[in-house]
Amino acid sequence: MSQENRPARPSGRPPESGFARLSRTESGLRGPFLCFFASAVLWLVVASVLALVAAVKLHRPDFLGACELTTYGRVTAAARDTFVYGWGFNALFAVNFWLMAQLGRFEFRNGWLATLGGATWNLALTYGVVQIIRGELGGFALLDLPREVGPVLLLAFLLSALWSVVAYARRPGGQNFVSQWYIVGATFALPLVYLLAQLMVLWFPTVGTVQALAHAWFVQNLLFLWFGASALAAAYYFVPKILGRALGHYYLAPVGFWTLFLFAGLGAPAALLGAPIPIWLQSVGVVASVLGLVPVVVLAINFLSTLSVDGGWSRSWNSTTLRFVVVGIVSFLLFGLLTAVCSTRDLSATLAFTSFAEGQVQLLTYGAATMILFGASYFILPRLTGSLWPSSKLVHVHFWSAFLGLLIAVGAALVGGWQAGQQLATPAVSAAQVAAQSAPWALAGSLAALLLLIGHVAFALNAFGMILSSTTPTSDGRSD
Amino acid sequence: MNDRNRHPDRNRPPQGNPGPAADGFSDGRLVEVHSLLAREKEEPREGFALTPIFIVFLFCGFGFWGGLYLTRHSGNFASTAFDVNAPKVTAATGPVEFEPDAAKGEKLFVANCAACHQATGLGVPGAFPPLAKSAWVAGAEDRLIKAILVGLAGEIEVNGVKYNGNMPNVGAALKDAQVAHIATYVRQAWGNTAGPVMDTKVAEVRKAIGTRGQYAPADLLKEHPLEAK
């Protein structure tokens, strides 16, 4: 924290002058990127408000309880879906595509197709969220949008995200960077997984527990292979880029990539330990979850060896982008460790049906993916808009609210979940006592949700101030 | 493509010791450097070899543990095993339920009994009594099982013809299930129509008679008289 007093301004500075000059790659990107990014930020604010309402309801059930539209189940589902499909997907579309275009020198000419995909995605999602609030929600978390939204989202995904694969295929010289593998992998994995999950869970429901298995598999892949892999791609880009140093032990990176993609989906049944699915499936899930430590070790070696040389940590702290990205990396490593440890049968039996799993998920979707996305936007937006971040105070407010909110939210969910799990396993403690004991943790959750909302509003104000004040880029290098 | 000068943190005072690389990579340079790194081995330096060896051992350890765990906790990969604490599934050691099988019984019969009783079940006139349409094999299962387990010695009347038989204890060397298969076959072949015999019944009878010599047919009839047709 002492670095706080350093003279360095953490907010991004614009390019050398107020005069916006975009490279060819960036000028084609600008429109679609800003479209995705602006919708992402709007969804983020909506999701934060909904999450705050849901969090308050956990310790004050009568809060907004008189209205049917704001009952707990609907608000929670809407908060989760707006956060994941609204903020997460839109922001990842934007950042993934920017990364691929930069790394592959891709000059994007058909921006309207991606923008069309983005518009479709957001319209379908808006319809779905409205339906959820109206009470038309399904029973599977993250697949609870109405069934008919699924195909539209899939189509919109293909329109929006496949450009990064095109950018990869057209890269000059056949050279490769680890970020590109992760994004290509994520872009191929997600539509396939989403399609199969839609078919097996919603359209042609499979029999019995296979449905639950398919759902767990979908969630696992969504978390690891879309959020995780895309976030790692950005982290792999920004750390060497900003520190100006090649990644340490880079030869290990392919091992991390392939093992992550191999073990992520197989680990899904570990979420269903003790469920009536054959024991060998559960055991495969446990083994795959523990073997998930292989990519985590590789990532740790790659990132920590790059960051720990030559004052890398303090330099990261002084760069706004890397400050967020490093928090994201540490969160991802913690998440991988927790996933492996908590998949063992004894721990899983204690922690099942508590807030612990929720804390783990938040560690990935917020701690890793969202933090890295924030870092990426602090890097990318000034380049694309050619203007300053309007207020460096708001940048500070954003970082500290998000960081503290993350710590409190995840800490409360993990510790509260652990405590509740221990008590639930003790027959002497009644269910009412367990609920009463968890009230302080729910209160902490509300505080965290409030902090996150403050941070996100600060971020949104800054970002929209920047986008709106940006001049239309006039570019020498523009190709059209 | 002026990436280096467009870095948003460009204007901050440099921290630490700013080497030539401290300014950050351009994107082209970033890809190029790492492509080289991936293609060529790093320069050997002190301590370099430790990480790969450590990694190889660690990952092999993970794999080894995974194999052990799967072997112990997979319930033999049976689709019907749901609980890790359930007693070991017997499916691997043999059929859970016995089903009397006349086809198996026929094979056993040919190997153990047909030398005297013939594969036709008609026996040898004057020497070995027939089994086909014999009242001795129909009716109470105990009579047939006892004859197979310990044998018969003495005068015996079958289908109105008298024989002076000496049947060895064929069943003593066979398992309960095998005896049950043979008995089932005998009771259902050659026009016989009696019910099948279960292995549990054989076990029960074997336990009840303990160790004893061959039955005299008359004694056996006292225990289990022939049923009227």
For A93-110, what is each residue's pLDDT tens digit? 999 999 998 888 888 888
Helix (H) or strand (E) holding A236: helix A229-243
How large a percentage of chain B has pLDDT more than 90?
5
Find the CB nearest B24 among A9, A244, A278. A244
Which band of pLDDT confidence, cut at 50, 70 and 90, is reported for residue B143? confident
Is residue B116 predicted with pLDDT exceeding 60?
A: yes
Cα–Cα distance between B134 and B122 in angstroms, integer?
10
How many C-beta atoms surround the C-beta of residue A219 within 10 A?
A: 19
State mean pLDDT over A208-220.
91
How many C-beta atoms surround the C-beta of residue A307 within 10 A?
A: 22
Task: Of A318-332, A466-480, B124-138, B146-160, give the range with the top mean pLDDT.
Answer: A318-332
Residue A4 has what DSSP assignment?
Answer: G
Question: Which among B60, B4, B66, B54 is positioned nearest to B29, based on CA atoms?
Answer: B4
Phi/psi at A397 (nearest 5 deg)? Answer: -55, -45
The pLDDT value given to residue A15: 42
Cβ pair B16:A311 closer than 8 A? yes
Cβ pair A294:B16 closer than 8 A? no
The structure tokens listed for A222 are: 């969504």
* Residues 6 or more apart in contact with residue A62 via CB below 8 angstroms: none
Count of CA atoms in the C-beta half-sphere (13 A) of A88: 24
The pLDDT value given to residue A215: 93
Burial-class residue A287 by CB neighbours within 10 Å (0-12, 13-18, 19+): buried
Across chain B, how many H-helices and E-strands are there? Answer: 8, 2
Cβ pair A12:B69 closer than 8 A? no
Is residue B229 predicted with pLDDT exceeding 70?
A: no
Question: Which among A230, A252, A295 is positioned nearest to B37, based on CA atoms?
Answer: A252
Which band of pLDDT confidence, cut at 50, 70 and 90, is reported for residue B3? very low
Quick one: closest CA in A to B17, which residue? A310
Q: How far is B62 from chain A (nearest CA, A)?
A: 6
Quick one: closest CA in B to A284, which residue? B70
Which band of pLDDT confidence, cut at 50, 70 and 90, is reported for residue B33? confident
Which band of pLDDT confidence, cut at 50, 70 and 90, is reported for residue A271? confident
Residue B40 has what DSSP assignment?
Answer: S
Cβ pair A246:B37 closer than 8 A? yes
Cα–Cα distance between A249 and B52 in angstroms, integer?
9
Q: Is A472 left (phi over 0), alpha (psi -120 to 50) or beta?
A: beta
Cβ pair A15:B80 closer than 8 A? no
Quick one: closest CA in A to B58, which residue? A294
Find the CB nearest A245 among B21, B58, B81. B21
Is residue A210 predicted with pLDDT exceeding 70?
A: yes
Question: Which among A258, A283, A255 is positioned nearest to A269, based on CA atoms?
Answer: A283
Strand partners, A52: none
Is residue B227 predicted with pLDDT exceeding 90?
A: no
Cα–Cα distance between A374 and A358 in angstroms, integer?
21
Cβ pair B42:A251 closer than 8 A? yes
Which band of pLDDT confidence, cut at 50, 70 and 90, is reported for residue A1? very low
Cα–Cα distance between B98 and A136 in angstroms, integer?
53
Cα–Cα distance between A289 and B69 in angstroms, integer?
12
Q: How far is A286 from chain B (nearest CA, A)?
A: 9
Write down the residue that tokens 């009463």 correspond to.
A436
The pLDDT value given to residue B45: 55
State mean pLDDT over B205-215.
82
**Chain B residues touching A249 at Cβ < 8 A:** 51
Cβ pair A15:B12 closer than 8 A? no
The pLDDT value given to residue B96: 57
Is residue B44 predicted with pLDDT exceeding 70?
A: no
If one compares A185 and A9, the residue with the highest pLDDT of the two is A185
How large a percentage of chain A has pLDDT more than 90?
59
Mutate to test the interface with A, among B31, B42, B51 (most CBs of A within 10 A): B31
The domain segmentation of chain A, as residue ranges, is: 23-175
Q: Do B69 and B152 contact (CB within 8 A), yes or no?
A: no
Cβ pair B37:A251 closer than 8 A? yes
The domain segmentation of chain B, as residue ranges, is: 47-95, 102-223
The pLDDT value given to residue B41: 60
Phi/psi at B40 (nearest 5 deg)? Answer: -110, 155
Cα–Cα distance between B1 and A156 in angstroms, integer?
31
Phi/psi at A124 (nearest 5 deg)? Answer: -60, -40
State mean pLDDT over A464-477.
67
Q: What is the mean pLDDT of chain A?
A: 88
If one compares B162 and A440, the residue with the highest pLDDT of the two is A440
Q: How far is A365 from chain B (nearest CA, A)?
A: 26
Cβ pair A321:B10 closer than 8 A? no
Mutate to test the interface with B, among A5, A25, A29, A283 (most CBs of B within 10 A): A283
Question: Which among A25, A101, A15, A46 is positioned nearest to A479, based on CA atoms?
Answer: A25
The pLDDT value given to residue A172: 80
- A171 vs A165, A301, B20, B74, B225, CA distance in Å? 10, 28, 27, 46, 95
Per-residue model confidence as pLDDT tens digits over A27-85? 778 888 999 999 999 999 999 999 999 999 988 888 887 888 888 989 999 999 999 99
ipTM metric: 0.78
Is residue A8 predicted with pLDDT exceeding 80?
A: no
Is residue B123 predicted with pLDDT exceeding 70?
A: yes
Count of CA atoms in the C-beta half-sphere (13 A) of A220: 26
CATH number for the segment(s) B102-223 = 1.10.760.10
Strand partners, B162: B157
Q: Do B180 and B197 contact (CB within 8 A), yes or no?
A: yes
* Residues 6 or more apart in contact with residue B172 via CB below 8 angstroms: B149, B150
Residue B229 has what DSSP assignment?
Answer: -
The pLDDT value given to residue A49: 96
B41 touches chain A (CB under 8 A): yes
Alpha helices in B9-49 (DSSP H): 27-39
Write down the residue that tokens 């010599």 correspond to.
B213
Cα–Cα distance between A288 and A290 in angstroms, integer?
5
How many C-beta atoms surround the C-beta of residue A108 within 10 A?
A: 24
Count of CA atoms in the C-beta half-sphere (13 A) of B149: 24
State mean pLDDT over A415-444.
89
State mean pLDDT over A196-219.
91
Is residue A252 predicted with pLDDT exceeding 70?
A: yes
Cβ pair A237:B30 closer than 8 A? yes
Strand partners, B166: B153
The pLDDT value given to residue A200: 93
